[in-house]
Homo-oligomer: A and B are copies of this chain.
Amino acid sequence: MSALIECVANFSEGRRSAVVESIVGAIADTSGATVLGYESDSDHNRAVVTFVGAPDSVAEAAFAGISRAADSIDMDEHRGQHPRIGAADVVPFVPLRGACMDECVRQARALAARVGAELRLPVFLYERAALQDVNRNLADIRRGGYEGLKRQLAAGEPPLPDYGPRKLGSAGGCVIGARDILIAFNVFLTTDDVAAARQIARRIRASSGGLPHVKALGLRVRGQAQVSMNLTNYRVTSIARVVEAIEREARTFGVDIASSQIVGLIPADALTAAEAERLRVENYSPARILERHLDKIK
């Protein structure tokens, strides 16, 4: 069994399904890459495509997807609820079975150089693949969005790309990197008051002293207030813990949780561990899960 890495690529298109399918097609057509799933959201106007394979194949498929997105998405026309800087907005590599972070960092940097040179897009390396410390955090790169980044690059202000031109065309920029597995998780509130969602997001996120390894934003999606999150270490801060905290904070606004959403795929353990705890299972460990053993069997 060969080493496997995952790519969870975010593209700035969630409304024109033909465009999303064309990008997914470009990725799926790459030999050795397997698309595990994709989903698009019309409020966020973005699509998330999850694919896996041997490291070289996944990098090749990512290049194909970035190239197709850059050709078919005009950021000057793009409107959506989520911060974004480009057509192929964020492209992280994640080590899975038998792969290490160093391999993902190598692939990310090689892909960044190629995208800068061949597609002429400004590329920012982030997280574990960052070359500039100020670019390590995705939120810092995306803070001004596509429009802000255009002004910043024109003025020669950071964030500065690691590869490609220092100016923004209509395909925008691209953030490429390597990171551990993360869980993208959204909670809808029983209100349309986006100010409440923003306030709750501020209280629970790590950067303002909330829960460790939690990134959170308040948005309005489907006419409802939503707390949109990335949990960057679910073993330290579980989904269950985050939901509890949001429930508590929501009560101070006199509202409740309406529902929640998983974006993309999640490791089984992110749900099983919490459920086992709730059921007071004294002998739970991830090794109790049958499926964990089956991919070792030929």
Residues of A within 8 A of B (CB): 1-2, 4, 6, 34, 36-37, 52-53, 96-97, 181, 239-240, 243, 257-262, 265-268, 271-272, 274-276, 278-284, 287-298
| A263 CB to nearest chain B CB (Å) | 9
Judge whether B282 and A260 touch: CB under 8 Å.
yes
Main secondary structure of the interface of A (DSSP, over half): mixed
Known: A268-B289, A288-B262, A288-B266. A243 touches B298 (CB 8 A): no
Q: Which residues of B contact A274 (CB under 8 A)?
A: 275
Q: Which residues of B contact A281 (CB under 8 A)?
A: 259-262
Q: Compute how far the CA of A275 lies from the CA of B34 in the bound complex, rounded to whole angstroms.
A: 28
Q: Which residues of B contact A279 (CB under 8 A)?
A: 239-240, 243, 260
Known: A97-B294, A294-B4. A257 touches B271 (CB 8 A): no
Judge whether A287 and B4 touch: CB under 8 Å.
no
Q: Compute how far the CA of A50 lies from the CA of B291 in the bound complex, rounded to whole angstroms.
A: 13
Judge whether B294 and A267 touch: CB under 8 Å.
no
Judge whether B266 and A290 touch: CB under 8 Å.
yes
Judge whether A297 and B262 touch: CB under 8 Å.
no
Judge whether A52 and B240 touch: CB under 8 Å.
no
Q: Please name 17 pairs of A and B residues whose Cβ atoms are closer than 8 Å in the assembled complex, sorted by A.
A: A4-B297, A34-B297, A240-B278, A258-B280, A259-B280, A262-B276, A262-B281, A262-B288, A265-B293, A266-B289, A268-B268, A268-B289, A271-B272, A271-B276, A272-B275, A275-B275, A278-B278
**Partner pick for A295 among B240, B260, B266, B295, CB 8 A cutoff:** B295
